[in-house]
Amino acid sequence: MKHRSTVAVAFVMVLGAILLHGVDAMAQPWPSKPVRIIVPFPPGQAADIITRAISERLSPVLGQQVVVDNRPGAGAALGTELAAKAAPDGYTFLAGGSAALAINPHLYQKLGYDTLRDFAPVTQLVSIPMVFAVTPSLPAKTVQEFIRLAKQKPGEINYGSSGSGSTSHLVSAVLASQAGIMLTHIPYKGSVQALTDLMAGQVMLVADTVPVTLTLVNAGKLRAIAVSTLKRIPHMPNLPTVDEQGLKGYDLQTWTSFVAPVAMPAPILDRMSAEVVKIIAVAEVNKRLVDMGFVPVGSSREQFGAFLKREHAAWQRAVQLSGAKVE
């Protein structure tokens, strides 16, 4: 009897220790190890630059290293799918933008993730407006002048883009559709070649982001005729929007955000969102982002969730209008 009693006591003690360890682990504050942010682009691109600017201030706030993990490939689909399938334990986030989260779901026939099903919104980091620029030799200084020219020469006015299904392709396709004009699309392998040919007069219009176009416009190598967002931008305060120039409701932008695997606990999502929003509001960080050509946002989880749904629908329409598809 005494032996059985001793065994029973030992069993209870071991079981208690296991349970206590489990409770301990569950009660462990987040984060208790490094946090990874997957960037589905190579180092040096916009999403990478923005993420690094945020993460260097996030590390001391969280008390753990924030690691930027670049996973480029398949038009941002590779890294995005990796994040969608990561454990929702609070240690993997995604720096997801308009391409990965709002365009790819409508562009690719087969995609390993569903934006609205697989991701929980954290916050929108920045907005990155697009600037419509024409070759300086083109006799058009406004959107309306460009439209009149295109109507006089249907199909003869062309526009370049960084590739079929790219943001620069889609915003121009929507512009043409809304204006009721016929333009010829010339896809390039990247924006550098498209802008080089625009400066040389080989193509007549290219839409690209502020950081890419600003220097060329200021140097007189390109002429900016409009910005793609509803509001004017601080970098070019005298540049009217497409909406202001008669195409009402035209509002397309590229952007970068943080999202997380969908089942991540709400307290972790709330903490991450709150800390990042505070960092974006820091004057030095805010100025740094603006100086790089971005428009800082820092929205709440609820605001970004609603924005993401609207963008998902807006870019679906843009892809349909463009006719772009990727197998």
Residues 158-189 have pLDDT tens digits of 999 999 999 999 999 999 999 999 999 999 99
Does 220 lie in the same domain as 200?
A: yes
Does 267 lie in the same domain as 202?
A: no
Give the chain's radius of gyration (CA, Å). 24
Q: Are 227 and 240 in contact (CB under 8 A)?
A: yes
Residues 6+ apart with CB under 8 A from 319: 103, 106, 107, 165, 170
Query: 196 in a domain, yes or no?
Result: yes
Does 208 lie in the same domain as 165?
A: yes
Q: What residue numbers bound the domain in which 314 lies?
A: 35-128+253-322
Query: 244 in a domain, yes or no?
Result: no
Does 84 lie in the same domain as 122?
A: yes
How many domains, in total, are found in the chain?
2
Q: Are 271 and 258 in contact (CB under 8 A)?
A: no
Q: Of 292, 218, 295, 212, whose CA–CA distance to 253 is shortest?
A: 295
| pTM for the whole structure | 0.86
**Measured between alpha carbons, how far is 135 from 128 in angstroms, rounded to an integer?**
22
Query: 315 in a domain, yes or no?
Result: yes
Q: How confident is the model at residue 327 (pLDDT cuts 50, 70, 90)?
A: low
Does 170 lie in the same domain as 118?
A: no
Does 80 lie in the same domain as 118?
A: yes
The mean predicted confidence, pLDDT, of the chain is 91
Does 135 lie in the same domain as 102?
A: no
- The dihedral region occupied by 252, where left means phi > 0, alpha psi between -120 and 50, and beta the remainder, is beta
Query: 3 in a domain, yes or no?
Result: no
The angle at the Cα of 102, spanning 80 to 59, to the nearest 5 degrees, equals 50
Query: 25 in a domain, yes or no?
Result: no
Among the three residues 189, 211, 227, which one is the final residue of a domain in this structure?
Answer: 227
Whichever domain contains 136, its CATH number is 3.40.190.10
pLDDT of residue 190: 87
Query: 22 in a domain, yes or no?
Result: no
Does 190 lie in the same domain as 117?
A: no
Q: Which two tokens stand for residue 307?
A: 């924005």
Q: Of 255, 259, 257, whose CA–CA distance to 118 is shortest?
A: 259
Whichever domain contains 123, its CATH number is 3.40.190.150
Give per-residue pLDDT as tens, 290-312.
999 899 999 999 999 999 999 99
Q: How confident is the model at residue 231 (pLDDT cuts 50, 70, 90)?
A: very high
Query: 157 in a domain, yes or no?
Result: yes
Among the three residues 227, 242, 268, which one is the final residue of a domain in this structure?
Answer: 227
Does 263 lie in the same domain as 114?
A: yes
**Measured between alpha carbons, how far is 36 from 50 in angstroms, rounded to an integer?**
15
Q: How confident is the model at residue 255 (pLDDT cuts 50, 70, 90)?
A: very high
Among the three residues 192, 210, 227, which one is the final residue of a domain in this structure?
Answer: 227
